[in-house]
Structure 1
């Protein structure tokens, strides 16, 4: 059986539409001759929780989890949100016209967290997965975004190991509706565009 590495931020107990597609695909891929290996954060900040989805993960499926530095956790602390309270993925852009602190968060989000706040997971994930793949090779890689940092992890692996790669865009990158609300510098706009072209 061939093996495929699926890099996804959203995985049960995360809920919402972002988790559904690859949870279902991973469930039925073995019937088509592909064994899925899931790579996902240990401590994500999803915008929904659905514990029931955990029961849909097939027994024995390999799920690799690594800790992630999650800026949204800091945002929740500074904005007074409760521990365990979920937040919308585009909440910072929504608040970009609000208070001074909200505008500051929006500026940092758009100009320092490129392509998104999960960018700090790219380098350590690529290092970890390169080591993992040396001992546990796969025949293909699939990354699903947003967050589009997942694609940048896959790009590094694909280039380094010459593995076929599919980038699944569940939503656009620079064309997503809230992108225009982020107060981006010209440098940030060009950087987002350059990375998007590299993935596409």
Structure 2
């Protein structure tokens, strides 16, 4: 007999995001483990849309879509129009590529409009969706006779839905809070958005409420679990467990083969390239070409997805060394991104710097290892490095070590040129990140909670 689980997620198909893909995988495989997910999602969520994702939704899935009221979007559009009267700041460049953004420069980019939005919508833009989501989730709990809810973030305001349901519902409701990224200690929150002492205090209190009232907390990496346990040492043992991101094996049945080799060796990066990822990867390519000028005509860095202004400046700079060296492409549907992995020779990825990078594993890395291609990762030592190294598919290069990046590029190129470029995949290790096996693990957690509810 299948039991119902109400999952509250801001993003869901056809919106393309790491959270949406995680929920699609659970929606496909949880029923095989005895749980039937009922989704409550935002019908007008911010994000890119991939209509083909709807084909991944099980025909028997139940999805209740609730709109956000739209105040954030209207206010943001108005403030953006006003900001156009401000003089744009030019990106400084040097003879050795674009200059990196300093932390002080990043702080100065927040204008009055951004500061206003940050203080009106706490903890994030999706907070305006919370009231409607609470009402829809309560109806879903009643109609499906569910006793368990799961909230997933980011956006972290989704957990406020779970908090409200936990406080409003009678005893017997169990709540799982899924943290796909840290909340309070997140680098995007600390460096990528306007902050104040008031906002810091409010978000710290919100996070504590969620952590204290949830019955089980899912962390997507071991480092994030350790971080949460360090912030809340009073939590009972076993309350925070690890359930990493992963990949759907169905996506890779047809897209693991490379096909014929092209005239250039392709290094591929898929997905967002945030400014907080730094420029070590680009400086490594610059260094490699300075050491081996012939590389400029024999390799290609393909960037598929949205790029920060700094990444665009670097890509343009490198393209000036050779017209075919850099290839920038707009974001593509998920199935096409998987196909891109199969065509590439080497998959490249960068991570956050410092402590955030030690505990963060970019979600694309799981699909990288599923593709079975050599991986070049720039990251502080930590969970991401462990994933790549234990998979047998690549090596981790420390941030700011452009020389090691250059040496890796040359070594991989030499292997490609001689036809010896291949990865020794640890299939047993990689298999643990299959979506069907992860659904079994999640179901085991739910079974334990259901027995207590």
Q: Same fold (TM over 0.5)?
A: yes
Q: Deviations over 1:146-193 (max 9, x none)?
A: 111111101211232231111111111111112123333322211100
Aligned to 1:147: 155
Partner Cα separation in structure 1 for residue 106 and residue 113 of structure 2 = 9
Partner of 1:109: 117
Cα contact 1:141–1:165 (8 A) shared by 2: yes
* 1:195 counterpart = 2:203: no
Runs of 4+ in 1 over 3 A off after TM superposition: none
| Structure 1 residue aligned with 2:177 | 167
Decide which moves more: 145-154 or 117-126.
117-126
Equivalences for 1:53-132 in 2 at 5 Å? 53-70=53-70, 71-72=72-73, 74-76=75-77, 78-79=79-80, 97-98=108-109, 103-132=111-140
Q: For 1:4-58, what per-residue CA distance to the aligned partner results, in whole angstroms no more than 9, with x for missing partners?
A: 0111111111113221111101111000110110100111111x22221110000
Greater Cα shift, 66-75 or 159-168: 66-75
Q: Does residue 135 of structure 1 match 2:143?
A: yes
Deviations 1:96-142 (A, max 9, x none): 633xxx51232123222111111112123213322342333213111
Query: 1:42-83 CA distances to partner (integer Å, 9 max, x unpaired)?
Result: 11111x222211100000210001111231354246536xxx
* 1:179 is the counterpart of 2:180: no
Decide which moves more: 27-36 or 119-128: 119-128
- Contact in 2 for aligned 1:96/1:103 (Cα 8 Å): no
**Per the alignment, in what secondary structure is the counterpart of residue 153 of structure 1?**
helix
**Structure 1 runs not aligned, ≥5 long:** 81-93
How many residues were matched structurally? 183
Preserved CA contact (<8 Å) 2:6 2:148: yes
TM-score w.r.t. the length of structure 1 is: 0.82
8 Å contact from structure 1 (residues 114, 188) kept in 2: yes
Distance of 1:179 and 1:112 partners within structure 2:
15
Q: How far apart, in 1, do the equivalents of 2:21 and 2:74 lie?
A: 24
The residue that corresponds to 2:15 in the other structure is: 14
- The whole-number CA distance in structure 1 between the counterparts of 2:37 and 2:68 is 22
Distance change in 2, residues 1:120/1:95 (3 Å): farther
The answer to whether the Cα contact below 8 Å between 1:27 and 1:58 also exists between their aligned partners in 2 is yes
Conserved? CA contact 1:96–1:106, under 8 Å: no
- Structure with higher RCO (Cα < 8 A, 6+ apart): 1
Q: 2:46 maps to what in 1? A: 45
- Secondary structure of 2:150's aligned partner: strand
Equivalent residues of 1:6, 1:36 under 8 A apart: yes
Report the Cα distance in structure 1 between the residues aligned to 2:20 and 2:140, rounded to whole angstroms.
24
For 1:76 and 1:59, locate their aligned partners in 2 and report how far apart those are by CA, in whole Å.
37
Instruction: Tell me, yes or no, if the aligned pair for 1:141 and 1:158 is still in contact at 8 Å.
Output: no
